[in-house]
Structure 1
Amino acid sequence: MAYQALYRVYRPRTFDDMVGQDVITQTLKNAIETHQTGHAYLFSGPRGTGKTSAAKIFAREINGIAPETSDAQIPDIVEFDAASNSRVEDMRDILANVDYAPIESEYKVYIIDEVHMLSNSAFNALLKTLEEPPANVKFILATTEPQKVPVTILSRTQRFEFKRIDNLVIQAQLADILHQQSIGYEDDALRIIANVAEGGMRDALSILDQVIAFGTDKVTINNALQVTGSTTTTQLLAYIKAISLGDTPTSLQVLHDILREGKDAQRLVVDILGLLRDIMLVDVAPDLIKSTVPFDELKALVEDLAMPRIEAMMVILDDIQKQLMQTTQSDIYLELLTVKLSMASSLHSKQTVTPQKAGTNHSSTNVQLSEKHANEPEPVRVSPVEETATVKLDTEAEQVEATSNGSSTMSQNLSKHNDNHADDSLLARTGQEAVFAILTRAKREALSHLKSTWSTLIGQFDVAQQAFLTIAEPVAASDEGVVLAFDYPALLEQALYDSHLQNKLSAAFLAQKIPIEMVFISQDDWRQQRAAYVQELKSGVTRSIALTDLPRVKRQQTSEKSENTIDTHAAPAEAPVVTEAKKIFGDDIVTVID
């Protein structure tokens, strides 16, 4: 006899065989026993949760047909697939026999699967029959998308919502089937299969079939991981730990190791979400944790990440998950995801300057004076940092002289940068005036050329920088320079102070005959400043701003001693508000608490 898939062999034949839908099965059994069955039912819910199986069982039970009877031997139970027979003509062919009495049974039962696929005309044809059904006819409609079924149909049916089956229930059912098959298994392997099945028993049995075929002697964790494309706990932990430390290069390396093993991109995102969920619940609901990660490690991770960052990471993961469904470049999106997750700490970190006595409160930063200065006049209020993206600009000592347009100008400018600045010099500008300077001379062909070469251009960078630059978008260009807009303010600030990235970008621009002057800005600020520029044009205001007359970003100094020498490998620069506070009150008074 030909081999049958497990989900067909172990398809429930009675309500007692069904698992995970106890409320529905008990309700239907009671209705049959008390002869209080309705004329139309709607079974809705996720795939593989037992809708069609329950419909067939119900149809046999109300007619007193033995469970072992083959479906093909029951002429009074008619199955209709609306997905492949959605036309009104198909529905009319079925309904033409409604008025005929059952051949052998008490009731004629019509099971319409995927009913939401019917056309409007087919629904209208069905509606007339549902309004005045013959006494010996019953309809069971099954669908995964009840919201697509007209309300006129819904109001004439008894609705039963099938729920996703709990993972523990699925694991128990899989274990029982393997016992019957005399196949050994590892508990964690069944847990992996149940997680991937996402509450669908049919999916779980299909995956189990593949795992058995992959390794016939035993269902092991490794086989389950290979078949499902899931990621090992060790790899997930290494990835999340690198993310929690903000170690982007390490997290990217772990990602590439995972991808080299052929793991599925969508599955990886789901696995990361699942681990973050367990980290989130470790303190509030430890009984709901699903992963096999040691409890102590989960506790350590929740302390490293903190709830606000976990929430931000989950939002980023959800966004990437949607984008992965619409692209074939999954590796690039996963690299982008890794950079975003690593930078999530910057989006939520706050520095607090703690007072010792009197002082003033500035947003999330408190500046206080020591007791000996308590009677001094109230200090000047420090302007708060605009969100986390505001970058303070200082005027440079040297200005780059404007020269003629063209490639010769770019060569002269780059040579001048190399002569007058060390390798750690900052070349970028930012702010409204810099953006306006580009927009006043913007050329469509310059922007088109930049956009067409952007993917090739960033391909020259290393993996970490490539992933970083994917969140930057060229939005304006002229013969003088270009504007790059960054998705996140924190990433913008990192780019503004990354001299290595800027110098490499400048060289890449020169090689592609693109103006080497750069303006970095956040996407939100770009939209606002572009709108402001358009408004000025409409009102007749014109500006004559040369980009080379504007100052570049200067590296923030952490102390007076470092004004003349800057260590590019030093610890991250202080927030501007902290620097200002120290200038006003002195280093010995101001205390910084992260």
Structure 2
Amino acid sequence: MAYQALYRVYRPRSFEDMVGQKIITQTLKNAIATHQTGHAYLFSGPRGTGKTSAAKIFAREVNGIAPETDDSQIPDIIEIDAASNNGVDEIRNIRDGANYAPIESEYKIYIIDEVHMLSSGAFNALLKTLEEPPANVKFILATTEPQKIPATILSRTQRFEFKRIDNDTIQARMAEILQKEGVSFDDDALHIIANVAEGGMRDALSILDQVLAFGADHVTFENALQVTGSTTASQLVTYLQQVSNYDTESALQTLHDILLEGKDAVRFVADLLGVLRDVMLAEVAPNLIKTTAPLADLKALTIKLGTSRIQQMMVTLDDIQKQLLQTMQSDVYLELLTVKLSMPEPEQTVPAKQSPNVIKEKPQNIDDIVKAPKSTEVPEKQVVEPAIEKIPVEVSAVENAEYEDLLVRTGQNAVFAVLIAAKRDALARVKNAWSDLLRQFNVTQQAMLTIAEPIAASEQAVVLAFDYPVLLEQALHDATLQNHLVQQLQSQNLPSELVFISQDEWTSDRALYVNKLKTGETPQIQLEDVPRVKAANLPATPTKTPQASSNKELKIVSEAKELFGEDLVNIVD
């Protein structure tokens, strides 16, 4: 006898066999027992939750047909697939056939699967018959998308919402089936399959079929991971720990190890969302956690990440999940995801403690000088702050101390300077070599440059547009990246002067440049005249001696006394 899939062999034949839909099955059983069945039903809900099975069981039991009876031997139960029979003519045939009495049973029952696929004309043709069918005719409509069904149809049916089946119920059902089949199994393997099935019993049994085919003697945890493309909880927790520590390079390496094992990109993001969900619930509802990861690790991640960052990461994962469905370059998107998740916010790139030699802002007027509160950042005891310009500090300048200068330019003038001398063939050469050029960088740098696109080039320079401003800021101050990029461009005889901007800046700058050309106001800018980005290095010693600062402070105080008088100016030590 030909092999049959598990979900066909173990399809429920009675309401007692159905799992996960207790309220619906009990309601239908009571209606049959009390002879209070309706003339039209709508079964809606996710795939694989038992809608069609419940319809067939109801049709048999309302006619008093034994569960073991083969469906093909029951002429009065007519099942129609609306996906392939969705026209007006098919519905007219149903309407005409409903006028004839049942052949053997008490009721003639039409089961219309995927009813939302019917055309508007077909729905209109069905409307009157569905509202007032002959006394011995019943309709059962099944659909996964009830929102596509006209309200006029919905109002004429009794509606039953089938819910997703919980993981414990799916695991118990699979365990029962495997015991009947005489196959041993790992509980963790069934847990993985139930998670991937996402509440669908049919999906779970189909995956179980694949796992059995992969290794028939025993359903192992490793086989379940291989077949489903899932990632182990320990790998996901390790990845999140690296992301939480802003360790981009290690997180990218973990990602690559996962992908080398053949894991599915979409499945990886879904598993990551599931673990993040458990991290979020670790402190507030540990009994709802689904992952097998240790609770202590989840709680540690909860404290490390914080609620707001967890929510932001989940939104990012949801966006990437949608993009993965529309691309063939899933690895690139996962690398971009890793960089986004592990990059700190812009304000986090500034050291928490500022040097006492760096004074904040210059006071705006003499009133601010006199009324200024005592500052804890001035080493001297005078309240009045010296007018020393604030010196910004960038972490990247310290990390890339092997290079003294940055090589990149940015801003509108730099873009205009390239556009004035832009050549299409120069840009084409850069684009053609771009993918090969990226292979010369390490994993972290590749991830940074992956989200950059060459969008303009002259014989001298190339403009790279970055998708995300936060990563653009990192690249602007990454001297190692810039020097390596220049070397690679020069080695391939490509334009090597660099201009970095964001995609939004490119859109606005290009539009402004085109407008200037149309009005005859062609900009006259040379790239050499545009300064490069300055490396913001924090000086080790103050640029001014304490005595000089003191003299300047005394001069300011004397000016204040001249303006307001000595009686009004109070110097607080």
TM, length-normalised to structure 2: 0.83
1:296 aligned partner: 296
Matches of residues 195-234 of structure 1 in structure 2 within 5 Å? 195-234=195-234
Kindly provide the CA deviation profile for residues 145-198 of structure 1, in whole angstroms up to 9, marking residues without a partner as x.
222223332232222221111111111222222233333222211111100101
State the one-letter code of the partner of 2:36. Q
Alignment-derived partner of residue 404 in structure 1? none
Q: Deviations over 1:241-264 (max 9, x none)?
A: 222222222222222222222222
The equivalent of 2:497 in structure 1 is 517
The Cα shift of 1:97 comes to: 0.9
Task: Tell me how far 1:333 sits from its aligned partner.
Answer: 2.4
Aligned to 1:364: none
Amino acid at match of 1:176: E
Amino acid at match of 2:220: T
Contact 1:40 1:157 in 2 (8 A): yes
| CA-to-aligned-CA distance 1:412-443 (integer Å, 9 cap, x gap) | xxxxxxxxx98554210112322232234444
Q: Distance in 2 between matches of 1:535 and 1:165?
A: 60
1:205 Cα shift?
Answer: 1.1
248-257 vs 506-515, which moves further:
506-515
Give 2:175's aligned residue.
Answer: 175
1:19-418 alignment, distance < 5 Å = 19-343=19-343, 369-370=375-376, 376-377=383-384
Inter-CA distance 374–149: structure 2 relative to 1 (3 Å threshold): farther
Over residues 569-588 of structure 1, what are the superposed CA-to-partner deviations in whole Å (9 max), with x where a residue is unaligned?
xxxxxxxxxxxxxxx99xxx
- Cα distance, 1:533 vs. partner? 4.1
Deviations 1:268-305 (A, max 9, x none): 11111111111122122222111111111112222222
Q: Deviations over 1:514-548 (max 9, x none)?
A: 32111112223333444444555566644311111
Map of 2:540 onto structure 1: 560
Equivalence for 1:466: 446
- Closer, same or farther in 2 for the Cα pair 1:379/1:538, shift >3 Å? farther
AA at the equivalent of 2:125: A
**1:429 aligned partner, one-letter code:** R
Mean CA deviation greater in 22-31 or 340-349: 340-349
Deviates more, 1:156-165 or 1:28-37: 28-37
Change in Cα spacing, 1:548 to 1:113, as seen in structure 2 (3 Å) is same
What SS does the corresponding residue of 2:409 show, helix, strand or coil? coil
SS in 2 for 1:249: helix
What does 1:511-590 align with in structure 2 at a 5 Å threshold? 511-534=491-514, 541-561=521-541
Shift in CA distance, 104/315, structure 1 to aligned 2, threshold 3 Å:
same
Whether 1:494 and 2:501 are equivalent positions in the alignment is no
Q: Distance in 2 between matches of 1:355 and 1:338?
A: 32
Contact 2:461/2:496, CA 8 A, preserved across alignment? yes
Contact 2:374/2:383, CA 8 A, preserved across alignment: no
Q: Hey, what's the Cα distance between the residues in 2 that align with 1:52 and 1:88? A: 23
Deviation at 1:7, TM superposition (A): 1.1
- Residues 535/560 of structure 1: CA separation in 2 closer, same or farther (3 Å cut): farther
Q: Report how many aligned residue pairs link the two structures.
A: 526
| 2:82–2:115 Cα contact (<8 Å) kept | yes
In structure 1, the residue corresponding to 2:533 is in which secondary structure?
Answer: coil
Opposite residue 459 of structure 1, the aligned amino acid is R
Instruction: Name whichever of 502-511 and 169-178 sits farther off.
Output: 502-511
| CA–CA separation in structure 2 for the residues paired with 1:382 and 1:279 | 45
1:312·1:344 contact (CA, 8 Å) conserved in 2?
A: no
TM-score calculated relative to the size of structure 1: 0.80
Is 1:507 the counterpart of 2:487? The answer is yes
- Computed over aligned residues only, the root mean square deviation of the Cα atoms, in angstroms, reads 3.4
**Bigger Cα displacement from structure 2, 491-500 vs 526-535:** 526-535
Give the superposition deviation at 1:99: 0.6
Q: Answer whether contact 2:18 2:50 (CA < 8 A) is retained.
A: yes
Alignment of 1:421-440 (within 5 A): 425-440=405-420
Secondary structure at the aligned position of 1:485 is classed as: strand
In the TM superposition, residue 340 of structure 1 has moved relative to its aligned partner by 2.3
Q: Which amino acid aligns with 1:281?
A: L
**Inter-partner Cα distance in structure 1 for 2:449 and 2:344:** 16
Aligned to 1:456: 436
Letter in 2 for 1:133: P
Q: Look up the SS of the partner of 2:408 in the other structure.
A: coil
CA distance in 2, matches of 1:143, 1:512: 59
Deviation at residue 109 of structure 1 after TM alignment: 0.7
Contact 1:482 1:516 in 2 (8 A): yes
Shift of 1:551: 1.2
Q: How far apart are the structure 2 equivalents of 1:449 and 1:256?
A: 30
Q: Which residue identity does 2:14 align to in structure 1?
A: T
**Alignment-mate amino acid for residue 458 of structure 2:** S
Q: Structure 1: how far apart are the matches of 2:386 and 2:33?
A: 83
8 Å contact from structure 1 (residues 354, 368) kept in 2: no
Alpha-carbon distance in 1 for matches of 2:287, 2:441: 46
Q: Distance in 2 between matches of 1:460 and 1:371?
A: 45
